[in-house]
Amino acid sequence: MLNVLAVGDVFGEPGCAFVKKHLRRIIRQENADLTIVNAENASLGSGTDPQDAQLLFDAGADVLTGGNHSFRKYSAFGMLEENDCVLRPLNFPPGSPGKGWCIVPVKSGLRALVISVCGQVFMDPVDSPFFAVERLLDEQKGRFDFAICDLHAEATSEKQVFAHRFDGRIKIIFGTHTHVPTADERLTALGGAYITDIGMCGGEESVIGLTYSSVESRYMQNIRRKGVAESKNIALNGAVFTVNESTLCVTAVKRIKYTEGDLL
């Protein structure tokens, strides 16, 4: 059995500090063979700079996935070009720095294709995730044993149609971006697993990772203040997928949530 750990959007300095302190232990506890971390909110809640990417790798991440904020830090461009395991969404415009996929060796000589892709509904404009992923699967056919996709998207319906479309061809499909975990994890008809959103690593009592006081005025007075990352009561949310190495089917999917109290 092979375990894939997916960690939801790591939010700002508090999220990074939690990952730095605890991810190794969580990896051990969950027997993870491959750890994928969504990093698009790691640096000040928007984007990923090279220092924070290194922090996440040092903490045990094998692949960093992206999202709509992937290009917020210009300092990320070099790293996106040079490090195959730092991904930005596959369906960003042609010519964008970096790439949206990588193939990583895992247990038993298996090769996992990891894809990062963005949704289109209620999101900044990007190309169709459906056609971009179809093209990629065609191009990489025979070069990988099973595929994993972080679908960074807002709309549940778009995520569900994506899961249906790629069922069996992408064995693990998990959503990110809303920062709120959903309770719909399931094994699929064709041997895969799906969950609409795995949540985030950030303050539990927050507005998707930001303090109430820094966000409230947007809604109460139409005044947009600089967001401040909530630093109290951090929880790391994610999911663990168990893959049978012979059949390459997913046999289990489990939501996880760790707080400081769970790790004393």
Minimum gap (Å) between residue 144 Cβ and Fe ion: 26
Minimum gap (Å) between residue 102 Cβ and Fe ion: 20
Is 179 considered catalytic here?
no
Residues 148-177, interacting with Fe ion (CB under 5 A): 177
In the bound state with Fe ion, the residue whose beta carbon lies nearer, of 22 and 177, is 177
Residue 68 makes contact with Fe ion by CB under 5 A: yes
The residue from 8, 67, 203, 227 that contacts Fe ion (CB under 5 A) is 67
Characterize the bridge pairing of strands 2-7 and 234-243: antiparallel
Q: Name the DSSP letter for residue 189.
A: T
Report the SS3 class of residue 167. Answer: strand
Q: Which region among 65-73, 165-173, 194-202, 212-220 touches Fe ion (by CB under 5 A)?
A: 65-73
Q: Which region among 66-74, 101-109, 139-147, 154-162 touches Fe ion (by CB under 5 A)?
A: 66-74
In the bound state with Fe ion, the residue whose beta carbon lies nearer, of 1 and 121, is 121
Pick the closest to residue 20 from 178, 229, 236 (CA basis): 236
Residue 22 makes contact with Fe ion by CB under 5 A: no
* C-alpha pair distances (Å), 142 with each of 137, 148, 159, 201: 9, 15, 26, 35
**Continuous segment of H or E residues that includes residue 104:** strand 101-105
Structure tokens at 164: 């249906």
Minimum gap (Å) between residue 27 Cβ and Fe ion: 24
In the bound state with Fe ion, the residue whose beta carbon lies nearer, of 11 and 57, is 11
Residues 174-193, interacting with Fe ion (CB under 5 A): 177
Pick the closest to residue 118 from 100, 102, 136 (CA basis): 100
Minimum gap (Å) between residue 215 Cβ and Fe ion: 16
Please enumerate in sequence order all residues whose Cβ is within 8 A of that of 161, keeping only pairs 6 or more positions apart, or say none.
none
Characterize the bridge pairing of strands 34-38 and 2-7: parallel
Residue 12 makes contact with Fe ion by CB under 5 A: no
Tokens 């895969």 label which residue?
192
DSSP secondary structure letters along 60-85: T-SEEE--TTTTS-TTHHHHHHH-TT
Minimum gap (Å) between residue 68 Cβ and Fe ion: 5
Q: Which of 69, 152, 177, 179 is catalytic?
A: 69
Q: Which residues carry out catalysis? A: 69
Binding site for Fe ion (CB under 5 A): 67-68, 177
